[in-house]
Amino acid sequence: MRRFLGALAAALGVLTLGAAPPPPAPADLVLRGAAVYTVDGARSWAEAIAVSKGRIVFVGADSAIAHWIGPSTKVLALSGKMVLPAFHDAHVHPVSGGMEALECDLNGLPTKDAVLEKVKRYSAEHPEAKWIRGGGWDLTLFPDGNPSKALLDAIVPDRPVYLPASDGHSVWVNSKALALAGVTKATPDPPYGRIERDASGQPSGTLREDAADLVAKILPKRSAKESVDGLAQGVKVANRLGLTSLVEASASEEDLEAYAALDAQGRLTARVLASLYVDTDKGTAEVPRLRSLRDQYGRGRVRTNAVKIFADGVLETRTASVLEPYVGFPGDRGKPNLQPPTFQALATALDKEGFQIHVHAIGDRAIRDAFDAIEAARKANGARDARHHFAHIELFDPADIPRFRKLGVIANFQPLWANGDAYITELTEPKLGPERSRWLYPIGSVLASGAEFAFGSDWSVSSMNPLEGMEVAVTRRQPSLGPGPAWIPEERIALPDAIAAYTIRGAYLDFSEKDTGSIEVGKLADLVVLDRNLFEIPASQIHEAKVLLTLLEGAEVYRASGF
Ligand SMILES: [Zn+2]
């Protein structure tokens, strides 16, 4: 008690005398002269930041920063450049995406010919490869997203080819791969997949959803080194784009080994929340395995208290689970990956174990089933700070939107997709009709409902760049098109919300909001420096902003050349 009174007197003394506090110890790093958008509760701005031992020790005006600068303080004078909390990606595949980037990488190629040219070049440059692997081709480059084996046979007749589409829900193979896997006219479609066929019933070269497993099961197993190299590449891409916190969207045990290995080498320059892949066919029998993976791999920069459930497929290929049949396909409502009673039992068991549940839900029926599953879990186990979240969430029955807030579920959008491109106009809207298409990616309505929300990329399905995602959330237009009319303009959101979705809201989703997501004293110095102030440019130019510097706990993990 005496000690307490002494401290109180000392504090009162300072207050009553109005003396300045003792000069602080010099900081390790000072950023000054910046436009610092702190994303604190008041969304306030500052000019300077001081960092000591990886944490933020001061945020405020340039005029007050001199105290923090000593002889060994590193000072960055930023002449008006923008500083933000480093970004969070709430749904990303760093291991598989990174491996794909190091193999036959077809992401972003604009034409069918460019894709074929790349496959041809890659196979010529890699005579040692027993399989041609990689992927990332765009569904919209081929009629109905359905490329043929003949296109590949003409280039690679002698070795098997296995190329997933950029969305990961279709795979393009050649005749050699089908022959090695024994997939023929007589092979039936698996329950949750489809073998595309020609007029005579022969497999034509594209495999949807679980049909890909017919060939995937004979792929040579990736080496541990390939996974670690892939992950290192994925993290490098992330740091270059200002990201230091990642939600791994679907972690296998091999992926977890790669995270553990990279972290042990001191090269994992991002915080990771890994969502452990759940085999929905096994249902609640998966729980003990998931518990032991959680215990074994949750250390260092890797946290593992989350699981991933795939509730359905994708709209473009009619594998998403929808409430009403697809237009032109009477009776076809897609297929949920698990029936509601199984889903509810699984969610209840996982919630009881304390896992955060991360659901892939795209069609309006999958979204409803997922809400029903969380509701069942809450009823059985009681409400807790679970932060379950649904990713992708493309097509809604608007009646379900208020359930995010009601059930405490976080809406995890991939906003880059909400832009009216060919995926929407050619492959999606015709299958839904105009009335239902109005409820594609209703980001504005979900925010207006008071739901918690966060954004992610789903890389390598699409670009990992958060600035592109922010722009589309604000404009509902393809970033390359410049200014013009928005696609479903009612669903646009404001820039502060789009920034929050990649910072403080992402931090809430990954349970790190006490340490990251905003620039406040006491938090970790995970920061990003941009070459321009996003609030001072037209929204259609947000994607042109460049990351100059990314800091993780005050340490540089990316610096642009010339900065
Ligand atoms: Zn994904």
**Strand partners of residue 390:** 359, 411
Instruction: Output phi, psi for 84, to 5 deg.
Output: -130, 160
Cα of 482 vs centre of ligand 1, distance in Å, is 28
Q: Which residue has the higher pLDDT, 437 or 193?
A: 437
Q: Please check the confidence at residue 467 and state whether its pLDDT lies above 60.
A: yes
Helix (H) or strand (E) holding 98: helix 94-102
CB-CB contact of 326 with 432 (8 Å):
yes
Compute the distance between CA of residue 131 and CA of residue 146 in angstroms, rounded to an integer: 21
Centre of ligand 1 to C-alpha 151, Å, is 27
Per-residue pLDDT of 334-360, as tens digits, reads 989 999 999 999 999 999 999 999 999
**Ligand 1 centre distance from Cα of residue 456 (Å):** 9
The pLDDT value recorded for residue 19 is 52
Q: Which residues contact 132 (CB under 8 A, 6 or more apart)?
A: 104, 119, 122, 123, 126, 156, 159, 160, 161, 162, 163
Cα(399) to ligand 1 centroid in Å equals 25
The CA 92 to ligand 1 mean position distance, Å, reads 6
Q: What average pLDDT does this structure show over 535-559? A: 98
Q: Would you call 84 helix, strand, or coil by DSSP?
A: strand
- What is the rounded CA–CA span in Å between residue 276 and residue 452? 22
For residue 12, pLDDT beyond 50: no
DSSP-derived letter for residue 485 is: P
Cα 58 to ligand 1 centre (Å): 37
Instruction: Kindly report the number of other CB atoms within 10 A of residue 225's CB atom.
Output: 10
In the reported structure, the alpha carbon of residue 249 is separated from the centroid of ligand 1 by a whole-number distance in angstroms of: 6
Could you tell me if residue 52 is left (phi over 0), alpha (psi between -120 and 50 degrees) or otherwise beta? beta
Nearest in space to 271 (alpha carbons), one of 507, 558, 549: 507
CA of 391 to the centre of ligand 1 (A): 8
What global pTM score does this model have? 0.88
212-245 per-position pLDDT tens digit: 999 999 999 889 999 999 999 999 999 999 999 9
Whole-angstrom Cα Rg for the chain? 25
Distance 267 CA to ligand 1 centre (A): 24
Q: If you measure from the C-alpha of residue 433 to the centroid of ligand 1, how many angstroms do you get, rounded to a whole number? A: 26
The Cα 529–Cα 549 span in angstroms is 5
The Å distance, Cα 478 to ligand 1 centre, comes to: 21
Q: Tell me, what's the pLDDT at 18?
A: 46
Mean of pLDDT values over 462-474: 97
Centre of ligand 1 from the C-alpha of residue 424, in Å: 18
How far the first Cα of the chain sits from its last, in Å, is: 54
Helix H or strand E encompassing 170: strand 170-173
How far is Cα 223 from Cα 229, in angstroms, rounded to an integer? 10
Ligand 1 center–CA 435 separation, angstroms: 27
**pLDDT, averaged across the chain:** 94
CA of 91 to the centre of ligand 1 (A): 6
**CA 481 / ligand 1 centre spacing (Å):** 26
Please classify residue 159 by burial: count the beta carbons closer than 10 Å to its beta carbon, then call 0-12 exposed, 13-18 middle and 19+ buried: middle
What integer is the mean pLDDT of 280-297?
Answer: 97
**255 Cα–ligand 1 center, Å:** 14
| Cα 459 to ligand 1 centre (Å) | 7
Band the pLDDT of 22: cuts 50, 70, 90.
low
342 φ, ψ (degrees, to nearest 5): -65, -45
Q: Which residues contact 345 (CB under 8 A, 6 or more apart)?
A: 283, 284
Query: If you measure from the C-alpha of residue 421 to the centroid of ligand 1, how many angstroms do you get, rounded to a whole number?
Result: 19
Nearest-angstrom CA–CA distance, 528 and 243: 8
- C-alpha 127/C-alpha 532 separation (Å) is 45
Quick one: pLDDT band at residue 192, thresholds 50, 70, 90? confident
The rounded Å distance from CA 356 to ligand 1 centre is 16
Angle at 320 between CA 317 and CA 324, to 5 degrees: 105
CA 93 to centroid of ligand 1, rounded, Å? 7
Distance from Cα 202 to the centre of ligand 1, integer Å? 30
Q: In angstroms, what is the span from residue 272 Cα to ligand 1's centroid? A: 15
Taking the centre of ligand 1 as the mean of its atom positions, its distance from the CA of residue 458, in whole angstroms, is 5
pLDDT digits (tens, 9 = 90+) for 396-412: 999 999 999 999 999 99
What spacing in Å lies between the alpha carbon of 444 and ligand 1's midpoint?
22
Amino acid at 472: V
In angstroms, rounded to a whole number, what is the distance separating the alpha carbons of residues 519 and 503?
A: 10
For residue 190, the CA-to-ligand 1 centroid distance in Å is 22
Q: Do the Cβ atoms of 409 and 371 come closer than 8 Å? A: yes
The alpha carbon of 454 and the centre of ligand 1 are apart by a number of angstroms equal to: 14
CA of residue 260 to ligand 1 center, whole Å: 21
**pLDDT confidence bin for 260, thresholds 50/70/90:** very high
The residue that leads in pLDDT, 101 or 369, is 369
